[in-house]
Amino acid sequence: MHERIYPPELAVDDRLPTHAQFAVMAVNGKVGLGVKAKHRIPRGTLVARFTGQLSNKIFQHSLQVSADTHLHDPWFVGLLTHSCSPNCVLDMQRLEICALNDIAVGDLLTIDYAVTEDVLHRQFACGCGSPACRKWITGRREPVNEMGQAYLQGLAARKVKRIATRQQRRALP
């Protein structure tokens, strides 16, 4: 069970995560994979080190290291789920994940994609459930695309309708 999550050619550092520490699995019936903790991790401590292959391209499972360098990791850190109130943050210079909150056994590791990425491989709608949810996720240096604008306008229209319906109900005798 001390097997590394990374393939042998990348798992040269014996501090890289093992299957005993983390479960890489399908999450909540969604298509994509996520990573769950198999041990308690206190806030402010090191969650894991990570690695990958450097590229000048953006992939679905890459993370930005510098202006035009990306770390492609479809095994571990590239699989972390986005949350607008994440429990982890990445240090892209040290290649370390740090816990922002206490993490319990079975908790999904989450990061805010906009913290590391200028531009995402693909913008997407977010339903992370956080009161701070931005609803549509982009990189930190790209505008909301057309699909996102339509999505956000749709959400806003539904909200206006809900408030109007509530007011109507209240107005009834």
Contact set with Zn ion (CB under 5 A):
84, 126, 128, 133
Nearest to Zn ion of 51, 138 (CB atom)? 138
Q: How far is the CB of 148 from Zn ion (least distance, A)?
A: 13
Q: Cα(170)–Cα(162) distance, rounded to whole angstroms? A: 12
Q: Cα(142)–Cα(119) distance, rounded to whole angstroms? A: 6
Nearest to Zn ion of 73, 112 (CB atom)? 112
Q: How far is the CB of 131 from Zn ion (least distance, A)?
A: 10
Nearest to Zn ion of 28, 56 (CB atom)? 28
Q: Cα(51)–Cα(6) distance, rounded to whole angstroms? A: 8
Q: How far is the CB of 128 from Zn ion (least distance, A)?
A: 3
Q: How far is the CB of 147 from Zn ion (least distance, A)?
A: 16
> What is the secondary structure of 87-112 as a DSSP string?
SEEEETTTTEEEESS-B-TTPBPEE-
Nearest to Zn ion of 92, 128 (CB atom)? 128
Contact of 140 with 115, CB cutoff 8 Å: yes
